[in-house]
Structure 1
Amino acid sequence: MEVIKSNKNTKIKEWIKLKAAKGRKKARQYMIEGEHLVEEAINHHADIDKVVVTDEKLDQYRSLLFPYESDMVVVNDSVMKSLCETQANQGIAAIINMPDRSSEVKEFDGKVLLVDAVQDPGNLGTIIRTADAAGFSAVVLGEGTVDLYNDKVLRSMQGSNYHLPIVHANLVEWITTYQEKGLPVFAAALDEQAKDYQVIAGIENQAIIVGNEGQGINPDILSITKNKIMIPIYGEAESLNVSIAASLLMYKAQEKKG
């Protein structure tokens, strides 16, 4: 156990850099805060480098953090506030080593969600959390998608990143390979050729693509995808929020044909 009482400590300065994508990329680490996320990381055997707890909360979290006592850093409230993004932190955080999420095309049994350039952190976090809840086998993040370890993404996922595979990959390669193997791939698009999204219900193995909030799915990706689907809009809204659309599609995919 180590005790740090100053924001000027070298370790604290390095951990503060993890708030920015550049700092996370360089260190190959990210930080989570709050009891729930730390507990999820521990329970699912994330590669934890350090756990950080305030002296005030040490007794409260001692049983949770007992296996990591040798990797524990105790700080005062001022230091914890400098590390955390939230105003009312819970006095607990962890520094996690990033896993390798790059991946060649891989077949997952079941259903896979492909995410093309979704840029809002809250949207991406909600999409991944919903994929977890809906029982999807994996989420594949394409080029231009917001950093998975952005603080808002982490808080929106609520630990779902520890529950299912999430990989960074070239979506064109995945779509091409899946279709060559006869696996259906469906792109959500406002397209004249798009079918009602009901058609995806009951298909055991499939991939679904959702796209950028403003531009939708990249035309290069859309052009190679054989199946287009759409969710009908009955009012005057131009489109649905991408996280809402993804949620509807994923739960529809899990329905039995009837």
Structure 2
Amino acid sequence: MEEITSVQNNKIKQMNKLKKKKERVKQGQFLIEGFHLVEEAYNSKLKIVSLLAVDYSRVDDQIVQYADESYVINFKVAESLSDTTTPQGIFAVVELPTYEISNFKQVLVLDRVQDPGNMGALIRNADAAGMDAVVYSKGSADPYQDKVLRASQGSVFHLPVVEEDIYEFIEKFEGNTYGTSLNHAVHYKEIESQENFALIMGNEGAGVEEELLNQTTENLNIPLYGKAESLNVAVSCGILLYHLKG
């Protein structure tokens, strides 16, 4: 197994470029860090192009055999690749998955959700609720950036997460569509659970685009009983998804 000890190594430089969305799209690959995410990528049968670890005695042999290539790295190289303060010492370069957008019956739609922590939590919600897919708009956080991957706890690998023109998607979607709004909306409990629906969650500050709210079947509201001005978008999403799923 080849050893990489220099942060100036061309492979390491190339991997560090994957921290930018433009480069991820160009190379068709993304970088993951940590034992849990590497295991989730392996269990989800994503193509692992390169595996890098400081200590292979802690890595499952099946994952090592599954990867196209494996490298031993030192802690200095691990620190250069890591976005965390205490690197776990394991990384993988994974091929970006591609998905067909068809026959989705239950979809979470994200309108310009910009916070990576929220993006990851929303994808995790969709995964936990057994949704068919997550569709997100341009202007949302990239699901394959490090903070989103960590916040999703690997849920990004469990279901299609795709960038689309959400106006077109809602227009073509064969089912009820629900926006979320503080104004001109019905109490979410007035809506019954159903087999076929799309739920739209909006930008943390601005909410769902007004034009999009005009396209929906109905817009939903979660009442606030205390003094808080609003609920976190991921918390709201969890409440609504589980209600609509019944």
Same fold (TM over 0.5): yes
Q: Which residue of 1 aligns with 2:163?
A: 168
The Cα of 1:99 is off from its aligned counterpart by 2.0
TM-score w.r.t. the length of structure 1 is 0.90
Q: Which residue of 2 aligns with 1:145?
A: 140
The Cα of 1:31 is off from its aligned counterpart by 0.7
Partner Cα distance (1:139, 1:201) in 2: 21
TM-score w.r.t. the length of structure 2 is 0.94
Contact 2:51 2:64 in 1 (8 A): no
The Cα of 1:228 is off from its aligned counterpart by 0.8
**Structure 1 position 52 matched with structure 2 position 52:** yes
Q: Which digits, 9 at most, give the CA deviation of each residue in 1:187-223, with x for residues without a partner?
A: 011122x111113442111111110000011122112
Equivalent in 84, 88, 91 of residue 89 of structure 2: 91
Instruction: Give me the identity figure in percent.
Output: 42
**Structure 1 position 187 matched with structure 2 position 179:** yes
Q: Which residue of 1 aligns with 2:216?
A: 225
Partner Cα distance (1:62, 1:207) in 2: 39
Q: Which residue of 2 aligns with 1:4?
A: 4
Secondary structure of the residue that 2:94 maps to in structure 1?
strand
**Structure 1: gaps (5+ residues):** none
Partner Cα distance (2:77, 2:220) in 1: 50
Q: Which digits, 9 at most, give the CA deviation of each residue in 1:154-185, with x for residues without a partner?
A: 0011111121121111111111112xx4x111
Structure 1 residue identity aligned to 2:104: F
The Cα of 1:38 is off from its aligned counterpart by 0.2
Contact 1:186 1:225 in 2 (8 A): yes
Q: List, as ranges, runs of 4+ consecutive aligned residues in structure 1 with deviation greater than 4 Å.
A: none
Contact 1:53 1:75 in 2 (8 A): yes
The Cα of 1:69 is off from its aligned counterpart by 6.1
Q: 1:144 to 1:59 in 2, by over 3 A?
A: same
The Cα of 1:25 is off from its aligned counterpart by 2.8
Contact 1:210 1:246 in 2 (8 A): yes
The Cα of 1:4 is off from its aligned counterpart by 0.9
Secondary structure of the residue that 1:220 maps to in structure 2?
helix
Q: How many residues align?
A: 246
**Structure 2: gaps (5+ residues):** none
Contact 1:39 1:64 in 2 (8 A): no
Aligned Cα root-mean-square deviation (Å): 1.6
Q: 1:70 to 1:30 in 2, by over 3 A?
A: closer
Q: Does 114-123 or 84-93 show the bigger shift?
A: 84-93
Partner Cα distance (2:231, 2:68) in 1: 48
Q: 1:161 to 1:70 in 2, by over 3 A?
A: closer
Contact 1:116 1:217 in 2 (8 A): yes
Q: 1:199 to 1:81 in 2, by over 3 A?
A: same
> 5 Å matches for 1:68-79?
68=66, 71-79=69-77
The Cα of 1:70 is off from its aligned counterpart by 5.3
The Cα of 1:62 is off from its aligned counterpart by 4.8
Secondary structure of the residue that 2:59 maps to in structure 1?
helix
Q: Does 209-218 or 20-29 show the bigger shift?
A: 20-29
**Structure 1 position 216 matched with structure 2 position 203:** no
Contact 2:47 2:67 in 1 (8 A): no
Partner Cα distance (1:200, 1:73) in 2: 53
Q: 1:69 to 1:205 in 2, by over 3 A?
A: closer
> 5 Å matches for 1:24-63?
24-54=24-54, 57-63=55-61
Contact 1:51 1:68 in 2 (8 A): no
Equivalent in 193, 197, 213 of residue 188 of structure 2: 197
Equivalent in 64, 67, 90 of residue 65 of structure 2: 67
Q: Which residue of 2 aligns with 1:18?
A: 18
